[in-house]
Structure 1
Amino acid sequence: MTVQELQKAFVDAYGKKEDAIYFSPGRVNLIGEHTDYNGGYVFPCALSFGTYLLIRKNGTKEVNFRSVNEPEVIKVSLDKITEPLAKGTWANYLMGVFTQFIKRGVEFKEGYDILIWGNVPLGAGLSSSAALEVVTAFALNDQMGTGYDRTELAKIGQKAEHEFAYVMCGIMDQFASAQGKKDHAIFLNCDTLEFELVPVKLNGIKVVISNTHSPHKLGDEYNDRVRECQLAVEQLRTVRPNLNNLAELTQAEFDEIKGAITDPIALKRARHVVGEVQRTVDAVKYLKAGDIETFGKLMNASHDSLRDDYEVTGKFLDTLAEEAWKIDGVIGSRMTGGGFGGCTVSLVKNEAIDTFKEKVGKAYKEKTGLEADFYIAEIGDGAKKI
């Protein structure tokens, strides 16, 4: 939809024009998966598609939530805004953000009419939920004049997901949506939140996102991985009492003390995290040096680890990655996002893109029965007012 079409939809829904329009993007993570809640490094970039929010103060004590993507209209009184609706209700993401502002002492004296529309493919692992949380936080921050910086808005979005969507996500998705910059990726330390915007210069190469159309629903399986990593830390503390998270360990340090992890599943999860943190640090170094070939090899190794040690890929993601690796001109390919369905991200030479789409798409359909979609990723800016 165009902005003009969204404005018309708002008037059709509420009878009056919106006060303001905001946008926040989805993201793709180039490397560094399931490291964020373990205090490690990630390397995401914001995308050009995301979520739009139109808002107007309505002079009542109610907040009205509508989405172009969803049929129901949800009305919530301000005195009930901190109480989650039924699990899975889309408005919970926005209500969670309102709640975080209230917890910070912000008082909402009147309600809002809100209309949402997003063009992030749902269930694709490109952070449609984070885009929704961050656009809401950005809008309320502007409307209420609270002056929170982008990092604080990312934290607000993360807490909303924890408390209202019940997914114990790390900070990466919300951070990328808030802090993204056109043609840059974000090298983020998820422990300290220190970050560097790194130019993504891929001469003759494009970032291609391949959608399995096997939607992922993060929840119990994701939270299981969080718990398994926490168990690994607890067992490692028997020999290293001051350990806070897995990402503090170098590969050599981990190899020396990994015997303290007696749970075999926790050991596999920890092995992935420690290795993935190192791969991410190395990948950024090679990107800065212009060595894209080695960057691609690290992407492939990341997928292998996510498949074998973290066990979050599955048939659909593995098929896309393995078929991509067969194509001459593919620099690297891996799953991106939480896993359990969703998307892969690939670096593909310009001259190989048509072949990539044709051959990977054909093989994927033959092996899974599903049609894959392919998007040429444009790296865009973070949250903004339109």
Structure 2
Amino acid sequence: MAAKIVPISVLVEEAKKVFRDEFEDEADIIVFAPGRVNLMGEHTDYNEGFVMPMALPLATVIVGKKIDGNEVFIHTTSNFSEQKTKFEIPGKNALIRAIPRDGPKWAMYVKGVIANYIGEIPPAFKAVIHSSVPIGGGLSSSASLEVATYLLLDELTGSKGTMVTDKALACQKAEHDYAGMPCGIMDQFISFMGRKDHALLIDCRQLTSTLIPFKDENIVVLITNSNVKHELTQSEYPIRRKQCYEAAMILKKVSLRDANLEDIEYLRSINTDNNILSRARHIVTENKRTTDGAQMLKQMNYKKFGELMTESHYSLKNDYSVSCSELDTLVELALEVEGVLGSKMTGGGFGGCTVTLVYAHVAEKVIENITKKYKGNPTFYICKPSQGASIL
């Protein structure tokens, strides 16, 4: 059975109650930012390519209030477990926003956003963070926390003029600097800019985006969280980036965004290291799948879009080598069920989630088939494209 998705309004009320209990006060700022699932375009973002995610109804809510002094007090619930932390923030006249990189891991994302916030240094505040985005599932819990934090700081400072693209870049830099993850821009972009009933085609070079209509009562997106996360993700991610950059250098390209299938044949002809060749082949073919997929969604050709999703999975498995046995099994079990249009791993890989395009009346059959045959304890979410970050 699919997990029940907690409505944003319920998350807000739960967070407000925790705030009252913890701080004996009422929060006067409420923001939320969603997680995301990527429909197409895996590992293309840091290659200046194309990605096509959608925002999820799973979200991070922050309720907070400005306070006097120079300390931040945060209470977390839900996914982050019951934790409390406090830390000092730089004064308004500080030349450098130096915030110690210590404390719980989730706090690094908050600190990183404060340090990279555009505009005046935010004031001290107290807040409760409450999230329904699974941690480590490839649904971008980190970006949803970063983006929600940025909106909280906007309200604390009264800032209104910063471009959304610049906010997303600031959140990305926060993850680079404070969490040590050299992520692309997709996660922060979709969390800010997602829209209900739309996917978002993002050009990661130009930092532009196009809303792609994705509304059909007969079609749903089934997310299956394997609840497995192999430790390879952190170490292998930088290796993939390096291999892609090496391929681009050999081809004398700014990035693999500029490469095509003829370039792949050239790499093959000069006996390029097989890992570099296969990484480049994935990026080139994945970019084309993503732009083709956007056209298929516009035409409501879900059958072809599903085929492209499945092709993407096998490219990620065989050429990019970021899948794992659990994800491969989940894809295969989904594809066994008639009415499934396509299925693939989503996110960084080595565990996390798969995303399946399926007729709505078949979704529970897919869940039943996986539950019966999969040796694990997966979690299922039936979703539609949802709204991006907002100040409530």
Q: TM-score, normalised by structure 1?
A: 0.92
Distance 1:71 1:17 in 2: 20
Output one character per residue of 1:185-233: Cα deviation in whole Å (capped at 9) or x when no partner: 0011011011110110335221111110103664222122112211212
The answer to whether the aligner puts 1:77 opposite 2:80 as a matched pair is no
Alignment partner for residue 210 of structure 1, among 190, 210, 224?
224
Equivalent position SS for 2:237:
helix
Residue 232 of structure 1: aligned partner? 247
User: Following TM superposition, by how much is the alpha carbon of 1:105 offset from its aligned partner in structure 2, in angstroms?
Assistant: 4.8
Residue 309 of structure 1: aligned partner? 319
Query: Residues 52 and 246 from structure 1, CA distance in 2 versus in 1: closer, same or farther, beyond 3 angstroms?
Result: same
Distance 1:262 1:304 in 2: 22
Residue 240 of structure 1: aligned partner? none
Code of the aligned partner of 1:327: V
Distance 1:257 1:4 in 2: 56
Alignment partner for residue 38 of structure 2, among 29, 33, 44?
29
- In 2, are the aligned partners of 1:151 and 1:179 still within 8 Å (CA)? no
The answer to whether the aligner puts 1:170 opposite 2:184 as a matched pair is yes
User: Following TM superposition, by how much is the alpha carbon of 1:81 offset from its aligned partner in structure 2, in angstroms?
Assistant: 6.1
The answer to whether the aligner puts 1:90 opposite 2:85 as a matched pair is no
User: Following TM superposition, by how much is the alpha carbon of 1:86 offset from its aligned partner in structure 2, in angstroms?
Assistant: 3.7
Code of the aligned partner of 2:317: R
The answer to whether the aligner puts 1:220 opposite 2:232 as a matched pair is no
User: Following TM superposition, by how much is the alpha carbon of 1:262 offset from its aligned partner in structure 2, in angstroms?
Assistant: 2.6
User: Following TM superposition, by how much is the alpha carbon of 1:87 offset from its aligned partner in structure 2, in angstroms?
Assistant: 8.1
User: Following TM superposition, by how much is the alpha carbon of 1:263 offset from its aligned partner in structure 2, in angstroms?
Assistant: 2.6
Alignment partner for residue 333 of structure 1, among 343, 356, 360?
343
Code of the aligned partner of 2:70: K
The answer to whether the aligner puts 1:375 opposite 2:381 as a matched pair is yes
Query: Residues 88 and 223 from structure 1, CA distance in 2 versus in 1: closer, same or farther, beyond 3 angstroms?
Result: farther
Distance 2:357 2:302 in 1: 9
Residue 156 of structure 2: aligned partner? 143
- In 1, are the aligned partners of 2:224 and 2:381 still within 8 Å (CA)? yes
Distance 1:382 1:2 in 2: 16
The answer to whether the aligner puts 1:59 opposite 2:59 as a matched pair is no
- In 2, are the aligned partners of 1:87 and 1:165 still within 8 Å (CA)? no
Query: Residues 106 and 259 from structure 1, CA distance in 2 versus in 1: closer, same or farther, beyond 3 angstroms?
Result: farther
Distance 2:104 2:88 in 1: 19
| Percent identical residues | 40
- RMSD of aligned residue pairs (Cα, Å): 1.8
Equivalent position SS for 1:126:
coil
- In 2, are the aligned partners of 1:124 and 1:341 still within 8 Å (CA)? yes
Distance 2:108 2:46 in 1: 22
Query: Residues 111 and 294 from structure 1, CA distance in 2 versus in 1: closer, same or farther, beyond 3 angstroms?
Result: same
The answer to whether the aligner puts 1:121 opposite 2:121 as a matched pair is no
Code of the aligned partner of 2:357: L
Name the stretch that deviates more: 172-181 or 353-362: 353-362
Query: Residues 216 and 153 from structure 1, CA distance in 2 versus in 1: closer, same or farther, beyond 3 angstroms?
Result: farther
Residue 39 of structure 1: aligned partner? 48
Equivalent position SS for 2:281:
helix
The answer to whether the aligner puts 1:48 opposite 2:54 as a matched pair is no
Distance 1:99 1:303 in 2: 37
User: Following TM superposition, by how much is the alpha carbon of 1:309 offset from its aligned partner in structure 2, in angstroms?
Assistant: 0.8
- In 1, are the aligned partners of 2:267 and 2:277 still within 8 Å (CA)? no
Distance 1:84 1:244 in 2: 35
Alignment partner for residue 283 of structure 1, among 290, 293, 298?
293
Distance 1:152 1:213 in 2: 33
Query: Residues 340 and 81 from structure 1, CA distance in 2 versus in 1: closer, same or farther, beyond 3 angstroms?
Result: farther
User: Following TM superposition, by how much is the alpha carbon of 1:261 offset from its aligned partner in structure 2, in angstroms?
Assistant: 7.0
Unpaired stretches in structure 1, ≥5 consecutive residues: 238-242
Q: TM-score, normalised by structure 2?
A: 0.91
- In 1, are the aligned partners of 2:97 and 2:115 still within 8 Å (CA)? yes
